[in-house]
Amino acid sequence: KAGVTQTPRYLIKTRGQQVTLSCSPISGHRSVSWYQQTPGQGLQFLFEYFSETQRNKGNFPGRFSGRQFSNSRSEMNVSTLELGDSALYLCASSPDLFDYNEQFFGPGTRLTVL
Amino acid sequence: QQQVKQSPQSLIVQKGGIPIINCAYENTAFDYFPWYQQFPGKGPALLIAIRPDVSEKKEGRFTISFNKSAKQFSLHIMDSQPGDSATYFCAASLYQTGANNLFFGTGTRLTVIP
């Protein structure tokens, strides 16, 4: 079974631009969560999607948004990029959100904002 | 505000040694405590997890010790190997606000010397 895939793997943008990252979960998994990983703040939860609906949201500004499609694939969008948005963005999938299932992480998208 | 505090930040042990990584949490409502292992260029992968109704859990060479009254839990790696060199993250979540919303510690970089 293929793992979680994220595209692109690397991205360079400039301040003020917007960016869209994509995540394909493991086949059959319906929950997709997004995390931001930085050296200073560590791993922080952004949001979780299940059945095309945002179910949980972390403490991030509204510039960070996401969506999920009917095939469970998910995208996250960051608008008006700031230097501090430079990070590794990780996507994780799990079968559902109703139990403590293992979350499987993708390799991440490394975003650099210049 | 860091909901899960992890120490040490880095750890160097000889092959065969038993590294111990400690975590402490504030929210007594947390009811799921996983440990993740991350290699460079990869996303975190679940190692082992524990619920607060048990004080210890072993899986292979990895053991979690859990002290509910002290709000602390730790990871022990028995007979450590150079291949265990990675960054380890503790985490916590609660079903009430989202089982998949993980609050991560800041990570411990483990180096096992041959």
**pLDDT, tens digit (0-9, with 9 covering 90-100), for A50-107:** 999 999 899 999 999 999 999 999 999 999 999 999 999 999 999 987 777 788 999 9
**Contacts B41 to A, Cβ<8 Å:** 107
pLDDT for the residue B19: 98
Q: Which residue has the tokens 């028995």?
A: B78
What confidence tens digit (pLDDT) does each residue in B33-91 have? 999 999 999 999 999 999 989 999 999 999 999 999 999 999 999 999 999 999 999 99
Which residue of chain B comes nearest to A6, CA vs CA?
B43
What confidence tens digit (pLDDT) does each residue in A17-60 have? 999 999 999 999 999 999 999 998 899 999 999 999 999 899 99
DSSP state of A69: -
B51 reaches A (C-beta below 8 A): yes
Mean pLDDT over B1-17 rounds to: 93
pLDDT for the residue B99: 76
Distance CA B99, CA B66 (A): 19
**Contacts B46 to A, Cβ<8 Å:** 102-104
What confidence tens digit (pLDDT) does each residue in B23-33 have? 999 999 999 99
Residues 6+ apart with CB under 8 A from A102: A94, B46, B49
pLDDT for the residue B1: 66
CA torsion, points A29, B34, B96, A69, in degrees to nearest 10? -20
B19 reaches A (C-beta below 8 A): no
Take residue A64 and report the two structure tokens written for it. 């960070």
CB contact under 8 A, A45 and B103: yes
Which residue of chain A comes nearest to B5, CA vs CA?
A42
CA nearest B25: which of B16, B14, B17, B34? Answer: B34
Distance CA B41, CA A90 (A): 11
pLDDT for the residue B45: 95
Partner-chain residue, chosen from A4, A97, A108, that has the shortest CB–CB distance to B98: A97
Look at residue A83 and give its three-state secondary structure.
Answer: helix
pLDDT for the residue A2: 82
